[in-house]
Amino acid sequence: MIGAAALAFVIAIALMLIRALYGPTLYDRVLAVNSLGTKIILLLGVMGFLLGRPDFLDISVLYALINFVATIAILKFFRYRSFQVPLIRKSGDRQ
């Protein structure tokens, strides 16, 4: 049954790739890649249990972190066209 779960995640990843390749706007592609990352995290965990080596979970912890940072970095780049803009708000101006 755990093999079927892994297969379901693989099918979901394959379907999501269609949206990532076909998506009309940039934001659709970023959304598809982000949720592709979430499913890859879950697939890594399931594969770890399927192969009897739960050490794969370390990789999925790392993937969760990198996925988040990558999404924010891509969005920041396409908003400001530069990585040099600080995202921190100055203390004092509470909005």
Partner 1 sequence: MGYFIGLIVVLTGLWLGLSGLYKTLILSLGVVSIILSTILAYRFDILDREGSPYGRLPQLISYWAWLVVEIFKANWVVVKACLRAQLDINPALVKLKTCCESDLARTVFANSITLTPGTVSVTIEGDKILVHALYEEEAHPEAFEEMDRRSRAASDGGRA
Partner 2 sequence: MTEIMGILMQIKPVLGAFLCLVGGVLAIIGTVGVLRFPDFYSRLHAASVIDTSAATLAIIGMMLLAPTWLIVFKLGVVWLFLFLTGPTSSHALANAAHTAGVEPLIGRRNGDDEGADS
**Residue 1 CA: distances (Å) to CA of 5, 7, 11, 46:** 6, 10, 15, 11
Please tell me the distance from the alpha carbon of residue 75 to that of residue 68, in angstroms, as a whole number.
11
Q: Give least dist CB 61 to partner 1, A.
A: 7
Please tell me the distance from the alpha carbon of residue 8 to that of residue 60, in angstroms, as a whole number.
18
Single residue of 7, 27, 58, 85 touching partner 1 by CB under 8 A: 58
Binding status of residue 59 toward partner 2 by CB under 8 A: no
For the chain, strand residue ranges (E) read: none
Interface with partner 2 by CB under 8 A: which residues?
A: 1-2, 4-9, 11-12, 15-16, 18-19, 24-25, 27-28, 30-32, 34-35, 38-39, 41-42, 45-46, 49, 54, 57-58, 60-61, 64-65, 67-68, 71-72, 75, 78-79
